[in-house]
Amino acid sequence: MVFLVKTFFFVFIGISIRLTDYYLILAAGILTVSMFVIRIPVVRLSLGREVTPSEASLAAAMVPKGLAPAVLAVLPIQAGIANGYVIQDTVFAVVILSIILTAILTFLLERKILYEPYGLVFSSYSKEPATRKDT
């Protein structure tokens, strides 16, 4: 049921987005790339060293935006705020670009194509997967 609702919602986003203002798309691209770049040190600081570099790299690549930002982006237009479409179009573009970039990065990490750059950042992490200790 959740999958069905999300499917309809992303169809709504696809129908609602207007890709006519290239400056908004550029701004959305810059915001999306900056989210992915900022995510790397955040993952490095927040994950323990018991995870492997490949797990940490995958965690750093998982930044897709979705339902919540898109719902909130519609509110300025509904509230009658002038130029509310700027917020909506920018957020919708960020949602779409972040999903696309997450899919690409995940594919490249699984194929070990981006393993070297991410491996340098997470080189101090465990080389073997952590084993669970039952108490």
Determine the average pLDDT of the residues in 5-26: 81
Q: Where are the domains of the chain?
A: 21-121
pLDDT value of position 131? 63
- The alpha carbon of residue 30 and the mean position of all alpha carbons in its chain are separated, in whole angstroms, by 13
pLDDT value of position 74? 87
Least confident of 12-16, 48-52, 92-96: 12-16
Give the tokens for residue 131: 């084993």
- Give residue-wise pLDDT tens across range 79-134: 999 988 899 889 988 988 998 999 999 999 999 888 788 878 888 887 776 665 65
CA distance 110 to 97: 20
